[in-house]
């Protein structure tokens, strides 16, 4: 089981290097898709059930879809893939940096399993992290109200940012 976690952590690092290495946004969005899928797997390995689902549905199915169709705004005839020289230099620099950091800081592992939420081994109906999120509705009700008000404010912010005809963020159109 710990080998599976090692493979998933490697996938996380590869995807992060792929996002950060300055490729065309099409390929960086694919890297983020891979990172969120593999991150969902990591959370499952550590015993979560609701949080990985939230991650997959909301992050991948909501936000990444919006980023994917916004990538049409950055369309260019020859997007930077892996074959570009500067992208290869960035990838090499990031891989070298990550490798050095791992070698120096993680010379001997101080234990691997911090803990696993379903250590009891039984099949429970009320899973741990789902009950934690339920606490957000119970005692964290005011935080939910604040979050909702923040999202409403963001809606108006976005409407003002893209409004044209000299009333909002676009002055020349």
Partner 1 sequence: MTPIQMTFSTMFLLGLMGLTFHRTHLLSALLCLESMMLSLFLATSLWALQLSTINIATVPMLLLAFSACEASSGLALLVATARTHGSDHMQNLNLLQC
Query: Is residue 147 near partner 1 by the rule CB under 8 A?
Result: yes
Query: Is residue 105 near partner 1 by the rule CB under 8 A?
Result: yes
Phi-psi region of 115 (alpha: psi -120 to 50; beta: other; left: phi over 0): left
Site string for partner 1, 5-44 (x = CB under 8 A): xx--x--xx--xx-xxxxxxx--xx--x--xx--x--xx-
- Produce one character per residue of 137-157: b if its CB has 16 or more CB atoms within 10 Å, e if not: eeeeeeeeeeeeeeeeeeeee
Q: How far is the CB of 13 from partner 1 (least distance, A)?
A: 6
Nearer to partner 1, 17 or 123 (CB): 17
Nearer to partner 1, 123 or 139 (CB): 139
Number of residues in contact with partner 1, rule: CB under 8 A? 80
Residue 18's Cβ-count burial label (10 Å; 0-12, 13-18, 19+) is buried
Find out whether 31 and 18 touch, Cβ atoms under 8 Å.
yes
DSSP state of 109: -
Query: Is residue 81 near partner 1 by the rule CB under 8 A?
Result: no
Tokens standing for 29? 């969005």
Interacting positions 85-104 with partner 1 (CB under 8 A): 86, 90, 94, 98, 101-102
Interacting positions 109-138 with partner 1 (CB under 8 A): 109-112, 114-117, 128-129, 131-133, 135-136
Start-end of H helices in 21-112: 25-45, 50-54, 64-70, 85-105
Q: How far is the CB of 87 from partner 1 (least distance, A)?
A: 10
């Amino acid at each position: 089981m710990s080998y599976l976690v090692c493979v998933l952590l490697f996938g996380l690092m590869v995807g992060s290097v792929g996002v950060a290495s300055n490729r065309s946004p099409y390929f960086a969005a694919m890297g983020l898709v891979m990172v969120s899928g593999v991150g969902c797997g990591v959370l499952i390995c550590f015993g979560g059930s609701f949080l990985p689902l939230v991650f997959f549905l909301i992050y991948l199915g909501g936000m990444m879809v919006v980023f994917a169709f916004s990538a049409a705004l950055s369309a260019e005839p020859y997007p930077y893939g892996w074959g570009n020289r500067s992208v290869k230099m960035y990838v090499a620099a990031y891989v070298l940096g990550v490798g050095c950091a791992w070698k120096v800081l993680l010379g001997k592992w101080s234990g691997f399993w911090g803990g696993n939420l379903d250590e009891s081994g039984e099949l429970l109906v009320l899973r741990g992290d789902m009950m934690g999120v339920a606490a957000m509705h119970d005692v964290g009700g005011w935080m939910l109200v604040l979050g909702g008000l923040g999202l409403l404010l963001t809606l108006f912010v976005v409407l003002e940012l893209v409004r044209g005809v000299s009333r909002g963020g676009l002055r020349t159109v």
